[in-house]
Chains A and B, each alone.
Chain A
Amino acid sequence: MAKVALDDITLEINDGEFIGLIGHTGSGKSTLIQHLNALIKPTSGEILLNGADINADKTKLKTIRQKVGLVFQYPEHQLFEMTVYKDVCYGPTNLGLSSDEIDKRAKKALETVGLGEEVYEKSPFELSGGQKRRAAIAGILAMQPQVLVLDEPTAGLDPKGRDEILNAIKEMHKRLGIIVILVSHSMEDVARLVDRIIVMHQGKIAVTGTPKEVFGQAEMLESIGLAAPQVSYVMMGLKEKGFDVPADVYTIDEATEVLYALLKQVK
């Protein structure tokens, strides 16, 4: 029996957008991102990159995959070279670039993810978990993609490693101005980074909108196995008790501000 993994997905992503893609396991988000660089072809429908169907010409697949960089889960498992520097050079070398250009790209990519010269000659296996993962992301960046897709880049990291990665991604988005698509289970992480959220459920887009719009619908998120950030529930609880607070608060700073305004007379 054929199973429909993605159903009637209509979606536009604009230049420079930072997208958060969320959904529980099996919702179709990994299947969707594998379509974006033609690892999987749609059964019906099409995917346009800069207006052109990416599956129209098989001989162009290499270019498509260079333009749409995909960072898989646990990307550090794909590090294999003797040194960090060589590992990052691997992709551009296969593009047949000049050695000057390769060197320039590798150094820029490493700098963008916050890895300095002191790690260039280290073995990737000597690095910490967060550093390894940033080295793996640099390898994709060195291909100079226009779209960068990251599948759960913080899975398995400790809070410090997580913050390192997220800060590197944020900085990278700001500096390069490319489209970044972040697949994540963590609503807290998505809340503080992205411009727009796409929520997947059973192969369809359940809802899309700014973090404010999406996290304002905590009940709907729960009904599909997700949750809003913790502070959203504080606001909902307060509203139920009759307090006039906004429902769409989802970061620590915003919640502090709202509660301070509410409580300052008590000081």
Chain B
Amino acid sequence: MGFMVKSKNLKYEYVRTFEVNNETRTETFLALNNVNIDIEKGSFIAILGHNGSGKSTFAKQINALITPTEGTLWVNGYDTKNEEFIWDIRQSAGMVFQNPDNQIVATIVEEDVAFGPENLGIEPSEIRKRVDSVLKAVGMSAFKKYAPSKLSGGQKQRIAIAGVLAMQPKCIVLDEPTAMLDPEGRKDVIETIKRLNREEGITTVLITHYMDETVEADKVIVIDNGVVAMEGTPREIFVQVDRLKSYGLDVPQVTEVAYNLRKQGINIPADILTPEEMVSAVCQLKSII
């Protein structure tokens, strides 16, 4: 299996401008420092990190919205620093941002989804086919004639995802797609993302603050201060409760309960991630008595 995204010693610096006592000053800020990340084709990767850790900066690199100051990033085999490939890269990796209202351009759902492929100069009949199929994929077919403004946050976000899918990307990068949604909207969006990964084989990079959304990821990467601080399966990552907290992150409630119990000498597995796992762990321990 090849890599969809691969970074080698990636560094990214930018110049920050700010005002102190009415004077404009600038300073160079190292947002990503020597980042080596490999994302396999078809995998589901979650990236965690507190605000300002550099995780969104990395996401923007995947879409070549920004390019490395030093080192290299390959997306679908294309070096993002080579401007010749910029459209190939952006078609390979689509992005979904936090606020759905900033990503919707048309006044009718199906026209919004058609916007991307229209700009690629695709045949109208093919666009029709794509729009219908991606709206079905995100479970929004019934809303194709609606005005996006009449939809809930979760529905709008699924329209934004459909708009990206209509470009037929190989990889989709979602930067906190559920941060502005209510629990139901979050669930719908996350289920849609997981299904697309599983059924369509789209490489998925999910950036989030919600740990429970990352439990089923193939790999979790924690970015802190611009460096890769942790990398592993969700189980390998979440058992390190103290370390995650030191990076300003959370663990699922049940994982923290297991951690507390272990500290008090109870021999319960540390890698409990869901309520069901906790229930069966307790049952198992009790059956020993």
Q: Does B65 contact A (CB under 8 A)?
A: no
Give Cα A260–Cα B285 distance, bound, in whole angstroms.
12
Report Cα–Cα, A188/B265, bound state, in Å: 26
Instruction: Please tell me if B264 contacts chain A, counting CB pairs below 8 Å.
Output: yes
Could you say which residues of chain A place their CB within 8 Å of the CB of B52? 128
Given contacts A25-B182, A159-B209, contact A262 B51 (CB under 8 A): no
Contact, CB under 8 Å: A185 / B182: yes
Candidate in B18, B183, B248, B266 with the most chain A CB atoms within 10 angstroms:
B183
A259 and B257: CB pair below 8 A? yes
Chain A interface size, as a band, is 35 or more
Contact partners of B254 in chain A: CB under 8 A: 230-231, 234, 255
Q: Note all chain A residues with C-beta closer than 8 A to B289.
A: 265-266
A158 to B278 alpha-carbon distance, docked (Å): 26
B250 in the interface (beta carbon within 8 A): yes
Contact string against A for B residues 238-282, beta-carbon threshold 8 Å, 1 for contact and 0 otherwise:
000000000011101110110011001111100000011011001
Distance A24 CA – B286 CA, assembled complex (angstroms): 38
A80–chain B nearest beta-carbon distance, Å: 15
Interface assignment of B212: CB less than 8 Å from any CB of chain A? yes
Most buried by B among A128, A226, A252: A252
**A155 contacts the other chain (Cβ, under 8 Å)?**
yes
Residue total for B at the interface (Cβ-Cβ under 8 A): 43
Return the contact of B183 from the options A24, A123, A243 (Cβ within 8 A): A24
Total A-B pairs, Cβ < 8 A: 111
In the complex, which residues of chain A have a beta carbon less than 8 angstroms from the beta carbon of B264? 256, 260
Per-position binary interface string of chain A over residues 204-216, scored 1 when its CB falls under 8 Å from any chain B CB and 0 otherwise: 0000000000000
A123/B180 contact (C-beta < 8 A), A25-B153, A158-B209 known = no
Contact A234 B285 (CB under 8 A): no
Closest A residue, CB atoms, query B275: A233
* Pair A160/B182 contact, Cβ less than 8 Å: no
Residues of A within 8 A of B278 (CB): 234, 237
Q: Is the CB of B279 within 8 A of A267?
A: no
Interface membership of A171, Cβ < 8 A = no
Q: Are B279 and A24 in contact (CB under 8 A)?
A: no
**CA–CA, A126 to B248, complex, Å?**
20
Secondary structure of the A contact surface, majority rule: helix
CB pair A128–B51 under 8 Å, yes or no, is yes
Q: How far is the CA of A255 from the CA of B51 in the complex (A)?
A: 30
Chain B: minimal CB distance from A106 (Å):
20
Q: Is the CB of B183 within 8 A of A227?
A: yes
A230 partner residues in chain B, CB cutoff 8 A: 212, 252-254, 275
Contact B253 A24, beta carbon cutoff 8 Å: no
Q: A259–B260 Cα gap in the complex (Å)?
A: 10
Interface assignment of A40: CB less than 8 Å from any CB of chain B: no
In the assembled complex, which residues on chain A have CB atoms less than 8 Å from the CB atom of B201? none
Q: Is the CB of A241 within 8 A of B265?
A: no
Contact flags A12-51 to B (C-beta < 8 A → 1, else 0): 0000000000001110000000000000000000000000
Name A's B-contacting residues (CB within 8 A). Answer: 24-26, 123, 126, 128-129, 155-161, 185, 188, 225-227, 229-231, 233-234, 237-238, 241, 243, 252, 255-256, 259-260, 262-267
Chain B interface residues (CB < 8 Å from chain A): 18-19, 50-52, 98, 152-154, 176, 179-180, 182-185, 209, 212, 248-250, 252-254, 256-257, 260-261, 264-268, 275-276, 278-279, 282-283, 285-286, 288-289
A-B contact pairs, 27 of them (CB 8 A): A24-B184, A25-B153, A155-B180, A158-B209, A159-B209, A159-B249, A161-B50, A185-B182, A188-B253, A225-B184, A230-B275, A231-B257, A234-B254, A234-B257, A234-B275, A234-B278, A252-B257, A255-B253, A255-B254, A256-B260, A256-B264, A259-B266, A260-B264, A263-B266, A263-B268, A263-B286, A266-B267
